[in-house]
Amino acid sequence: MLEIPQEMVDRVVAHGRRDHPDECCGVIAAKDGAATRIFEMENAERSPTGFVFDSQEWLRVYRDIDDADEELLAVYHSHTATEAYPSRTDVRWSATAGFPHWLLVSTRSAELELRSFTIEDGVVTEEEVRVT
Amino acid sequence: MAIEVRIPTILRTYTGGEKLVEGSGDTLTALLDDLDSRYDGLRGRLITDAGALHRFVNVYVNDEDVRFLGGLETKLADGDSVTVLPAVAGGSR
């Protein structure tokens, strides 16, 4: 289960719609497992079919989180023409990226489509998004 | 020659949980060889079998991404700081 406040859900959805037709991406940090902060990141690839964290921005964000003794809770990104479900590319990157949760939003329609997953050893498992 | 190396959470299994380790070497390659002698397996997570920097990691020297410096041949000097982070990417294709 991924537990995040309504404000973060709204931010992720708004970010996805703003960057559409390109994919958006970002990070949610936590302290002792509870979501604390959301970082809207640049998609260095500026692509409708992929995202890459900008390496300089990622260094600043990671250090900010680490220095505050917070941890990485979730990485989020959008799919712009397909469902909010991890692609093979997502599964491949999940092995080394170090995020417990993968939060996806689809911006293919006006309908809200936000889903969260754990990906372990290539196995994708959907989980509840509990909004607080 | 002491160089401070910051290790991300996901690779701390190789450093006994330490987030800050020290190493030596006059290039990034030499530093990684030195670290691997004490933290077995760490080098293999950063460098491919073909000897290139793995695309799944970012390495920074004094906060500059080494892909924009000299890659694995980036020169190091006493007091430099090296940071390793997972690269993060994905997408629908």
Q: What is the pLDDT of residues A27-53, one digit of tens each?
A: 999 999 999 999 999 999 999 999 999
Type and span of the H or E element at A35: strand A34-41
What lies within 8 Å, CB to CB, of B57 at 6+ separation is A96, B45, B46, B84, B85, B86, B87
Domains along chain A with CATH numbers:
2-131 (3.40.140.10)
- Name the residue type at position A94: S
Residue of B nearest to A25 (CA): B89
Selected residues 18-77 of chain B with any CB under 8 Å from a CB in chain A: 19, 45, 56-58, 60, 63, 65, 67
The β-bridge relationship of strands A123-127 and A129-131 is unpaired
Cα dihedral: B52, B56, B59, B63 (round 10): 140
Question: How far is Cα A83 from Cα A104, in angstroms, rounded to an integer?
Answer: 9
The β-bridge relationship of strands B3-6 and B81-86 is parallel
Beta-carbon separation of B90 and A51 below 8 A: yes
CA of A37 vs chain B CAs: smallest distance (Å): 18
Classify B31 as helix, strand or coil. helix
Domains along chain B with CATH numbers:
3-86 (3.10.20.30)
Q: What is the ipTM metric for this complex?
A: 0.94
Predicted local distance difference test score (pLDDT) of residue B93: 78
Average pLDDT, chain A: 97
Mean pLDDT of A100-124: 96
Q: Measured on CA atoms in the order B72, B74, B75, B81, is the torsion positive or negative?
A: negative
Type and span of the H or E element at B2: none
Residues B13-22 pLDDT 10s? 999 999 999 9
Q: Closest by alpha carbon to B30, among B11, B49, B47?
A: B47
Predicted local distance difference test score (pLDDT) of residue B1: 63
The residue assigned the tokens 């170090």 is A98
